[in-house]
Amino acid sequence: MAKAGCKYIFLGVETASESMINKMNVQKVRDLEKFKQILKLLYRYGIKTHNFFMVEFPYESYEDFKKTIDFIKKTSKYATTVEAGIFSLLDNSPVFLSPKSFKIKIRNKNTGKYCFLDKNVHFFYTGAWRFDEIDGLKWEEKHKRGKIKEKMLNTIIFRKVALRRVLKSLFKTPLYAIKKKILYPYSCYDEYFLY
């Protein structure tokens, strides 16, 4: 891939909890140890990566969340950028199409525009569905908890990945680094040009 000119890859890791991978039927990453090796190889051959993680899947426990934190810490030196967000229930997703098998009850749809991936790209979708866990949390509590987890994870990401990126860019292009810090502190789409 590197010889063919591949420079940057987006990876939807989503979660580092094997129980969540199995529950949510995540098809992207099945073997986390193998995935770590892939990250190391991409790093070694100069292919930059942007890793996506999600929090608050239906019935995600603190132990599941902690596994994702540990995974990010262990693999941070191989990632160019990392991003975390709250799980969103979107139209025609596997969870939306089969709510009973995921033990959720779909409520109403949020209205308004919600940013997906990056605030600077202006790629929006128009709403996600609210849902309650049948044997767990109601939407209001789940969403509140999700915001806390998202903030925690993005703080860890900043310390482990983004701060390194900002410091590197500061020495290469100081004005750019200051602009990124003040105007939009987290954007992944043009970062790989700085390395």
What is the pLDDT, as a whole number, of residue 173? Answer: 66
Locate the domains of the chain by residue range: 8-161
Q: Average pLDDT for residues 35-56, to the nearest whole number?
A: 91
- pLDDT tens profile 53-78: 999 999 999 999 999 999 999 998 89
Q: Model confidence at 120, in pLDDT bands (50, 70, 90)?
A: very low
Q: pTM of the predicted model, to two decimals? A: 0.77
**What is the pLDDT at residue 91?**
81
Q: Could you please state the CATH topology (level 3) that the domain comprising 8-161 is classified under.
A: Transcription Regulator spoIIAA (3.30.750)
Residues 150-169, mean pLDDT to the nearest whole number: 80
DSSP the chain: -TTTT--EEEEEEE---HHHHHHTT--S-S-HHHHHHHHHHHHHTT-EEEEEEEE--TT--HHHHHHHHHHHHHHGGG-SEEEEEE--B-TTSHHHH-GGGGTEEEEEEP-S-EE-S-TTTT-EES--EEEEETTS--HHHHHHHHHHHHHHHHHHHIIIIIHHHHHHHHHH-HHHHHHHHHT-S---TTGGGG-
Rounded mean pLDDT, 13-19: 90
